[in-house]
Amino acid sequence: MTGTPQHIVVFGAAGWVGRAILANLEGRHTVRAVDCGPAAWRAGEDVDGKWAGDVLHGDIADYDHVATAMEGVDAVIHASVLAGETRGGYQPGDDAPWLVNLKGLWNVLEVARERQVRRVVHIGSCQVEHPKGVFFSADVRRPDGSAYAVTKRLQEEMCRQYHEAFGLSIAVLRPCSIVDSRLGIGKNRQPLGQQGTGAVCRHDLAEACRLAVEAEGIGLEILHTAGLPEADEHCNAARGREILGLVYRGDLGRFPAP
């Protein structure tokens, strides 16, 4: 299947990572871009410009919307997420993060199961350096307990469950700090300083998504994505390079200490 054009739906396509995914897929695959509405797209146009391809707006927590978005696709890249203003900073009583992050992914996995979609690629999240010094293999879950961390860990568990229960072919990618090494900025447009071991360029993460769609023989893979060589001491980034044939091209080492 490597290199064969496929029909791919990208959820969260208007976001910081989503727009990089669209750029990576363009000219290689047929893409349907899905996000919540026009405002989400405008938020990224200062960096990424306009997207002229197939766009569908809607609520990922709405099962019927997800079913429509996934009509006729071979693969799914799920990059949709609702993050708090601060680290895991959801407000008490706020249902939206749970609906977007958990019900939204459940909808995607359930439709993928029903339609026998060939591959699901899910962008998770995890530290690269474990706070207790444990090596992050696929079976070592993120240990932090913010509301954001809990939803991201539960997303990963849903992916495991759907693979084990229904045989769904799923690749979970675990980025930490996602930056743009080409432009030298972070998600909030701040200039980059020296990057820690958890950094990955969003364009390398997008490449990992495409390769995870194209790769043969994936049952369930849970792979850290980290762009600096020293990350190999802390997590299974090396396995991602091996399984996907991923080459990190973002020059994260060129940024000086602040």
Give pLDDT tens digits for 173-183.
999 999 999 99
Can you give the length of the chain in residues?
Answer: 258
CA pseudo-torsion sign 228, 232, 235, 236: positive
Residue 1: pLDDT over 60 = no
Write out the two tokens for 216.
């043969």
What does each C-alpha distance from 141 to 92, 134, 210 come to in angstroms?
A: 25, 10, 24
- Domain presence at residue 65: yes
Mean of pLDDT over the chain: 94
Tokens 């530290």 sit at which residue? 127
Domain housing 82: 7-172+203-217
Write out the two tokens for 76.
């799914």
- Domain presence at residue 208: yes
- Domain presence at residue 93: yes
Q: What is the CA radius of gyration of the chain?
A: 17
- Domain presence at residue 159: yes
**11, 69 Cβ separation under 8 angstroms:** yes
- Domain presence at residue 255: no
**DSSP secondary structure string for all residues of 161-207:** HHHHHH---EEEEE--EEEBTTTTB-TTSPBP-S--TTEEEHHHHHH
- Domain presence at residue 234: no
Please list the residues that pair with 173 across neighbouring strands. Answer: 123, 223
Q: Which of 61-70, 85-94, 106-115, 200-209 has the lowest mean pLDDT?
A: 85-94
For 200-236, write each residue's pLDDT tens digit.
999 999 999 999 999 999 999 999 999 999 999 999 9
Domain count for the chain: 1
Write out the two tokens for 44.
């990224």
At residue 59, φ and ψ (nearest 5 deg) are -100, 120
What is the CATH classification number for the domain harbouring 167? 3.40.50.720
pLDDT-derived band at 83 (thresholds 50, 70, 90) equals confident
For 38-73, write each residue's pLDDT tens digit.
999 999 999 999 998 999 999 999 999 999 999 999
- Domain presence at residue 81: yes
- Domain presence at residue 58: yes
